[in-house]
Amino acid sequence: MTPLLAQLEALSGWRRRGLLAVLGSLAALALPPLYVLPVLGLSFAGLALLLGSAASRKSAFATGWWFGLGFFTAGLYWISNALLIDAARFAWFIPFSLFGLSGVLAIFCGLATLLSWLICRKGVGSALALAAAWVLLEWLRSFVFTGFPWNLIASIWVPVLPVLQSEAWIGPYGLGFLTLWAAIVWPLIFRDRSARHRLLAGLPFLILLLLGLSGLMRLQGGDVAMTDDVRLRLVQPNIPQTLKWKNELRFQHLLKLIELSQVASDLPPTHVIWAETAVPYILDHDVQARLAVAKAAPANGLVITGAVRTTEPGLEPYQIWNSLLAIDESGLIRGVFDKYHLVPFGEYMPLKSILPLKKITEGATDFSPGPGPLTIDLPGLPSVGPLICYEVIFPHAVAEPGKRPDWLLNLTNDSWYGISTGPYQHFATARMRAIEEGLPLVRVANSGISGVIDPYGRVVAQLGLGQEGILDSRLPKPLNEATIYARTGDVPSIGVLILLLIVLKFMVCHTGFSSIRYP
């Protein structure tokens, strides 16, 4: 070991914690939209080095926790922008939101390093254990505490579509494991090791290369036809969130949406799509507002919009939903979908009896969840799987089980987060879901990024962040058959990771296989 590495390994106290937080922050540079991929190898190799010097379970957990604090603080800083929309009420909460959320999510990182440390602390085996444990805890993060699988490690491959195609086979957790294995084990390739250790250290790179070549072949044979007689118009009004719900501006916002929807085009739309909560009226009870929306509907077509929906006036208990409504040219509601995965603190307040706070979205009443992923049929369209806001970030949870839709539709409003990395990360995640499910995905956002994505994750058309305008596009067709991942989900990849950790613990890490100290 070089003197520098020995000094780093010997760090303690705040120097060690600070270095871990910096390494975690560096790892976030590999995420969308920066994609500085080499820093992932630097940061996770550093994490593995420091984890190897942990002297106790507490130290092993703290190693991952401080790394995770840096990783999530740098990767999710933009969430605090939402608290500036009503700064007078919520700006004071920014430090608690930023570091509190990051600190909670960092628990998963601490548990990952603790699990890895308990299983294997040396050599190639320790690299495998850390990669497997990290991704296993990523998977747990997708459903524990209502779930928040944002910025999965696999998302670093979004600009490298041939490699990202492997999600259709092994999903984001399988790809994430191979990525981290390579990011952690690479220093061992350059050490004076036996041929066996060099081969094992280079194995993840070989697998990623083969997956990339397979993905390239998949893309070369991936011609996608367009759906006949369906022409979509995506409307992106770019209304600032600070103005969106002002009573004196509500009708002006609605007129803007209607005018954009009626712009003449060489590709006249059959269906117009607006973003999440685009209409600032309760459409299911406001006939006049619904008739105004209907003016934007093409002949024999629909306006599909996000809007708040409520129970009938006077009906108890009073409930509200964050919904998608499909409205025809006569003003009739032809389809409804209610968001089922609500945002804690944004759409409802958890632990209301303990926390004397109100949700940051408009109104005092918490939103109610819908029944879950659904496939719905709308006039003139192939069957669709609606997703509202961050429902698109959950792997293998975007389509109704047993009833595969022909396309996915994601309505969202990222204007809460301004010009930041958040909307880019959200859009990148949508591309991952398209590949995993083998389905085209249409994304409509108030301020961007709106776009049409084919079932291979390729962007057919796009309207950028912070732009006002319309996007006219055909609708790509889905793949003829569901992908392997869409059929099997996470069971194979998570099962393999659990089996690998068991094998490492009981059959490998007490043998000469891992007798070489990392790195």
> Does 232 lie in the same domain as 213?
no
- The C-alpha atoms of residue 457 and residue 172 are separated, in whole angstroms, by 14
Q: What is the pLDDT of residue 507?
A: 75
> Does 236 lie in the same domain as 122?
no
Going by the DSSP 8-state scheme, the letter that residue 506 receives in this structure is: I
Residue 483 maps to a domain:
no
Residue 376's DSSP bridge partners are 384
Phi, psi (deg, nearest 5) at residue 291 = -65, -35
DSSP notation for 205-219: HHHHHHHHHHHHHHH
Reply yes or no on whether 167 is catalytic: no
> Does 233 lie in the same domain as 211?
no
> Does 64 lie in the same domain as 8?
yes
Q: In terms of C-beta density within 10 A (0-12 exposed, 13-18 middle, 19 or more buried), how is residue 185 classed?
A: buried
- The C-alpha atoms of residue 427 and residue 429 are separated, in whole angstroms, by 5
Residue 387's DSSP bridge partners are 410
Reply yes or no on whether 339 is catalytic: yes
Q: Which residue has the tokens 């507002």?
A: 289
Residue 235's DSSP bridge partners are 470
Q: Which residue has the tokens 């409504």?
A: 325
Reply yes or no on whether 120 is catalytic: no
Closest C-alpha to 240, from 417, 387, 475: 417
Residue 519 maps to a domain:
no
Q: How many CB atoms lie within 10 A of CB 116?
A: 33
Q: Are strands 320-328 and 302-310 parallel, antiparallel or unpaired?
A: antiparallel
Structure token digits, residue 118: 């308990």
- Structural domains of the chain, count: 2
Residue 280 maps to a domain:
yes
Residue 150 maps to a domain:
yes
- The C-alpha atoms of residue 262 and residue 256 are separated, in whole angstroms, by 10
> Does 494 lie in the same domain as 426?
no
> Does 287 lie in the same domain as 138?
no
> Does 169 lie in the same domain as 305?
no
What strand order describes the sheet that includes 302-310? 333-338, 320-328, 302-310, 271-273, 226-236, 469-476
Q: What is the mean pLDDT of each run of 10 residues along the chain (519 residues)?
A: 68 86 97 96 94 92 97 93 71 77 95 95 85 97 92 97 98 98 85 67 92 96 91 96 89 95 91 96 92 94 96 85 95 95 76 54 75 95 96 95 96 92 97 98 96 97 96 96 96 96 82 48
Residue 157 maps to a domain:
yes
CB 438 within 8 A of CB 481: yes
Determine which helix (DSSP H) or strand (DSSP E) holds 16, and give its type and residue range.
helix 13-27
CB 90 within 8 A of CB 466: no
- The C-alpha atoms of residue 153 and residue 150 are separated, in whole angstroms, by 9
Catalytic option among 138, 389, 391, 436: 389
Catalytic option among 138, 244, 339, 477: 339
Q: Which residue has the tokens 């069957």?
A: 383
> Does 272 lie in the same domain as 183?
no
CB 233 within 8 A of CB 271: yes
> Does 305 lie in the same domain as 422?
yes
Residue 484 maps to a domain:
no
> Does 316 lie in the same domain as 451?
yes
Catalytic option among 138, 167, 276, 437: 276
> Does 412 lie in the same domain as 359?
yes
Q: What is the pLDDT of residue 94?
A: 77
31-35: long-range contacts, CB 8 A cutoff, minimum separation 24: 31/75, 31/151, 31/155, 31/156, 31/421, 31/425, 32/155, 32/156, 32/158, 32/421, 32/424, 32/425, 32/427, 32/428, 33/421, 33/424, 33/425, 33/428, 34/421, 35/156, 35/158, 35/159
Provide the CATH number for the domain around residue 307: 3.60.110.10
Residue 320's DSSP bridge partners are 310, 367
Residue 296 maps to a domain:
yes
Containing structural domain, residue 424: 226-476
Q: What is the pLDDT of residue 111?
A: 98
CB 271 within 8 A of CB 304: yes
Q: What is the pLDDT of residue 510?
A: 62
Going by the DSSP 8-state scheme, the letter that residue 159 receives in this structure is: T
Residue 164 maps to a domain:
yes
Q: What is the pLDDT of residue 123?
A: 72
> Does 458 lie in the same domain as 350?
yes
